[in-house]
Amino acid sequence: MFTTVLVANRGEIAVRVIRTLRSMGIRSVAVYSEADAGALHTRVADLAVPIGPAPAAQSYLSIERVLQACRATGAQAVHPGYGFLSENVEFARALEAAGITFIGPPVAAIEAMGDKIRAKATVRAAGVPVVPGSSEPGMDDDAVAAAAVEAGFPVLLKPSAGGGGKGMRVVRSADELPEQIAGARREARSSFGDDTLLVERYVGNSRHIEVQVMADAHGSVVHLGERECSLQRRHQKVIEEAPSPLLSARMRATMGQAAVDAAAAVGYTGAGTVEFIVDADNPRDFFFLEMNTRLQVEHPVTEAITGLDLVELQVRVAAGEQLPFEQADVELGGHAIEARVYAEDPSRGFLPQAGTVVALTEAVGEGIRVDSSLVEGGVVGSDYDPMLAKVIAWGPTRETARGRLVAALGRTAILGVTTNVPFLRALLSDPAVVAGDLDTGLIERRGEELTRAEDPPAGIYAAVAMSLLVDDETGGTGGIRGQGGAVVVDPWTVPGGWRVGEHAWTPRRLVVPGGEPVVVRTRGRAGDGEVRVGEGEPMRARAWRQDGRLAVSLDDVTTWYALARDGSTVWLGAEGFALPFRLVERTAGAGTAALAGGVVTAPMPGTVTLVRAAVGDEVTAGTPLLVVEAMKMEHVLVAPIDGVVDELPVTAGQQVRLDEQVAVVIPRTPEED
């Protein structure tokens, strides 16, 4: 067995792999970029080695720098996690040449399955059904367009060299082809260094089901059941569960055998996942999509229903051991569901977000597991994928697991960064999801219902105002608690509103992003006062801090919140939401609002990859002006009004900050008509 293993990754997967290495008594080595100095995976590893600047190409994707870290620490093996170098055949070759074990499949298997075009040919020869389409190698734009027309619309453009939904585009008409092919190639080049595309028939009413396989070097290949991954957004998985609510035991065995056959066809060893697309209307029709020659993001749900540690199995197989079980020994128990927590704003088109985690609460409870890279004070930037954590729930039944996951997400509070947690709770509570009636288009159809930004209720504004009153009275320390937890203060030291014989109302203006200021008035003390939101009725109110949380009692109903204050901004979290409330002096005037109508700002930190307009161009609302890439995703910024481009101060390759002004469109004057 190995004594030292280097984890060539970052974030939650690095933390998760290190946890298993520690349980096996193996010394772990973390690597990190400049942006990740002090990140959680560097703290939990036995050793940590810097490997370069923030751009992945100069750190996590640098084969030579990872090899240097191996040599410096005496690492005998490398676990690649997923993403980055996990499916890079040159990396596997370089490790082999250096006498270091790659905890993954053989080079030949990575080559066969890493190229989707070759993979389809390989499994087709093994008798596994594949999606109709064109997968000829080296197709230029004209050939891709011709293949799309021949297959019939809608079609799916897919990068040959990678996965994770990066670069995948659904094309519904011939008119869309030039722009979509160009965009797919750009994303594929950026994510994988290879812009080769293939074309597949797009199965609209489809379900995405994958089978986990495990193989050793002694000829044993088994499957560990399937995972349902149909809940996707832009071809990126959001919710995964095991087993699939669609499959019967007979279909599970049929698809499992097909996955085993696909793995055996390339001499596979280690953990791998064979992905299938299934016709939701006829589950007997399933087609091979691809094989991921690595651990999957969603592997915890398989671990939950099998009781197996897939990372430990990977390490043992890589060390030459045999699998300790056969197919007949694999038993599936209960149900597990996983939700991916992303730094993104669903109400703004799921745009990636950045910030500093000022306070953190992660769920605990029966059947709950959290794989996370989050830590208070940690910076969430735009250099890498926006996934922050995964929350997994197990239960004896699917409904128990779903209910536990909704509750666990409700107990999750990530203050300082906008996340998709409220969206996840809404999605898990959707009637179709509750019923298990899933397909890959569900999120797109339900989008507006699931992502609509609702104004915070009056009680939330009241809670923020009461938290400020507690801070006023105690200097932010929480004060001394009396009976019932109320803060005991000297009324003569209260900095506002106290009068002999009565208490005056103290107004505060609070605003959330995208909202209008709301006036909230308080009077009295935090331990015995009143609060009034807007023109609403006054409510009896008490508030106090305890164990790092805020308790607010409104008309004798007490709610507990996660709370953090960052200058003039108060972050409040409860029931899965986390909102920043900013103290403002006054509302914006009409002129400011009118001006904003023609100003285009960067919705997230990123890089301008393409400028499609010029100063002086006449445009209509919705005309693309430029493309910004953040966290390996492209975002097209468009003209907000009809008019003329008056300012365009950015160029391709330029870095932009969140809310940085990147263009101004002014209305046409009458003389221009």
- Please report, rounded to a whole number, the percentage of residues in the chain having pLDDT higher than 70: 92
* Overall average pLDDT of the 540-556 stretch: 95
Comparing CA positions, the residue from 281, 282, 224, 288 lying closest to residue 253 is 224
Q: Is the pLDDT of residue 558 over 90?
A: yes
**Per-residue confidence (pLDDT) for residue 484, from 0 to 100:** 45
Establish whether domains 206-451 and 458-583 are of one fold.
Answer: no
Among the residue ranges 123-137, 410-424, 585-599, the one predicted with the least confidence is 585-599
Sign of CA dihedral 418, 420, 156, 210: positive
Identify whether 513 is preceded by a cis peptide bond (ω within 30 of 0). Answer: no
Confidence of residue 165 (pLDDT cuts 50, 70, 90): confident
**Structural class in CATH, domain 590-672:** mainly beta
CATH architecture of 458-583: 2-Layer Sandwich (3.30)
Q: How far is CA 339 from CA 213, 353, 354, 371, 401, in A?
A: 22, 18, 20, 11, 12
**Whether residue 493 has pLDDT greater than 60:** no
Cβ density class 349-361: b for 16+ within 10 Å, e for less: ebbbbbbebbbbb
The topology (CATH level 3) of 4-103 is Rossmann fold (3.40.50)
CA distance 247 to 270: 25
Given a cut of 50, whether residue 31 has pLDDT beyond it is: yes
pLDDT (mean) for 404-423:
96
pLDDT digits (tens, 9 = 90+) for 178-217: 999 999 999 888 888 889 998 988 876 789 999 999 999 9
Residue 485 has pLDDT above 80, yes or no: no
Query: Can you tell me the distance from the alpha carbon of 295 to that of 500, in angstroms, rounded to the nearest whole number?
Result: 68
What is the C-alpha to C-alpha distance for residues 667 and 662, in angstroms, rounded to an integer?
17
Q: How confident is the model at residue 421 (pLDDT cuts 50, 70, 90)?
A: very high
Q: Looking at per-residue confidence, does 167 or 107 come out higher?
A: 107
Examine the pLDDT at 498 and tell me if it is beyond 60: no
**H or E segment to which residue 401 belongs:** helix 398-410
pLDDT one-digit tens code per residue, 459-478: 999 999 999 999 888 876 54
CB 517 within 8 A of CB 511: yes
Average pLDDT estimate for 162-177 = 85
Note the CATH number of domain 206-451. 3.30.470.20
Looking at residues 431-448, what average pLDDT do you find?
A: 92
Nearest-CA neighbor of 138 among 122, 161, 163?
161
Work out the percent of the chain whose per-residue pLDDT is above 90.
Answer: 71
The whole-number pLDDT of residue 671 equals 55
Return the pLDDT at 591. 36
Instruction: Please tell me the least confidently modeled range out of 161-170, 369-378, 386-395, 572-581.
Output: 161-170
What's the mean pLDDT when you consider all of the chain? 89
Give domain limits for the chain.
4-103, 132-201, 206-451, 458-583, 590-672
Between these two residues, 355 and 657, which has the higher pLDDT value?
355
Spatial distance between the Cα atoms of 158 and 298, rounded to a whole number of angstroms: 21
Strand arrangement, sheet containing 368-372: 286-292, 270-279, 206-215, 221-233, 236-242, 335-342, 387-395, 368-372
CA distance 252 to 284: 10
Residues recorded for the chain:
673
Side chain identity at residue 660, one-letter code: E
Two tokens at 534?
Answer: 């807007």
For residue 477, the model assigns a pLDDT of 52
Residue 258, judged by CB atoms within 10 A of its CB (0-12, 13-18, 19+), counts as: buried
The pLDDT value given to residue 176: 94
* Residue 520 pLDDT class (50, 70, 90 cuts): very high
User: Alpha-carbon distance 429 to 424, whole Å?
Assistant: 9
pLDDT higher for 613 or 282? 613
Q: Which two tokens stand for residue 26?
A: 């193996």
Q: What CATH superfamily is the domain 132-201?
A: ATP-grasp fold, A domain (3.30.1490.20)
Does residue 423 surpass a pLDDT of 70? yes
The per-residue pLDDT for range 580-609, each reduced to its tens digit, is 998 875 433 333 333 445 888 887 778 899
pTM higher than the cut 0.85: no
What is d(CA 609, CA 593) in angstroms, rounded to the nearest whole number?
29
Tokens describing residue 646: 């008056």
